[in-house]
Amino acid sequence: MDHLLKLLDLSKEEILDILNLADQLKYELKHDIRHQHLKGKTLGMIFEKSSTRTRVSFEVGMCQLGGSALFLSSNDLQIGRGEPVEDTARVLSRYLDGIMIRTFAQQEVEDLASYGSIPVINGLTDFCHPCQVLADLMTVREHKGRLEGINMCYLGDGNNMANSLIVGGLKMGMNVSVATPKEYQPDPTVLEFAQKTGNFKLTQDIYEAAKGADVVFTDVWASMGQEGEAGIRRKAFAGYQINHKLLEVCAKNVMVQHCLPAHRGEEITAQVFEEHAGEIFDEAENRLHAQKAVMVTLMTKR
């Protein structure tokens, strides 16, 4: 494992190694045991999409590991003024020990890794969100004690979260069911992987998808950059909501997960959100621990 570009690139064993290290780092932090695994190393954080959790968790994570992080918005870089990504990759590789990028096109992340000589971490693209889903898998395992055989359900937009949850869940032996409107299905390459890999169901019926689910995931109906489509999407996703009626068909002790930010009253009711807030904010916290594990895994090799 040289980069974290997408979960499709990782084996089950590589994902498991990250999750185990994340658990260890979380335990050590809770017991005030500090190891400066990345002392003297610097992570460059390129943001072409803004973020709360991604920026704070990576910056704090690097600090806890003894390193430092540089916030680089597209306004701060020549990449925002048309410098080819391959040139940016080669220049930053001379200065930094790793790059985290949060952007639109998956190809930009792939190109950074191809032309640079340091680890590249995908902090989010329109195609996938591997860091979030590593934290999600970590959280499910904390609460359920295992991943193998767990029934995972995702409701809503077949977006980057859906793509990564499908891949991550199936690679870890989960049974994955997804409900999306026909026009908003996950990426075809992900669906092809899913049909070949494991127990996977794609439907437009949220109750069929959620039946017997041990954990239910959702995301906002209009992601960053799709604000102009918000009205159209509200109509398309009407009914794709986590509410008490839906939870009645799930397993008795069903978990609810949301990558945040949440739009209460749309993809999830305010009451369900608050009833499962402990699990949801465990999930948010675990971004820190999972990403620290990724950075240690990638950046201690150099």
Binding site as annotated, residues for carbamoyl phosphate: 51-54, 78, 102, 129-132, 259-260, 287
**Binding annotation:** 51-54, 78, 102, 129-132, 160, 219, 223-224, 259-260, 287
* Tokens, residue 144: 């359920």
Q: Given the structure tokens 């200065």, which residue do they identify? A: 95
Rounded Cα distance, 133 and 174, in Å: 13
The count of C-alpha atoms lying within 13 angstroms of the C-alpha of 138, restricted to the half-sphere facing its C-beta, is 33
Whether omega for the bond prior to residue 130 falls within 30 degrees of 0, making it cis, is: no
pLDDT by residue (tens digit) across 60-99? 999 999 999 999 987 878 776 678 889 999 999 999 999 9
CA angle 217, 190, 100 (to 5 degrees): 75
* Binding-site residues for L-ornithine: 160, 219, 223-224
pLDDT value, residue 80? 60
What was the pLDDT predicted at 155? 98
pLDDT in tens, 213-262: 999 999 999 876 777 888 899 999 999 999 999 999 999 999 999 999 99
Half-sphere exposure of 37 (CA within 13 A, CB side): 20
Residues designated catalytic: 102, 129, 132, 219, 259, 287
Q: How confident is the model at residue 302 (pLDDT cuts 50, 70, 90)?
A: low
- Identify the DSSP state of 187: P
The answer on pLDDT for 198 being more than 90 is: no
Whether residue 261 contacts residue 221, with contact meaning beta carbons closer than 8 Å, is answered with no
- pLDDT single digits (tens) 96-125: 999 999 999 999 999 999 999 999 999 999
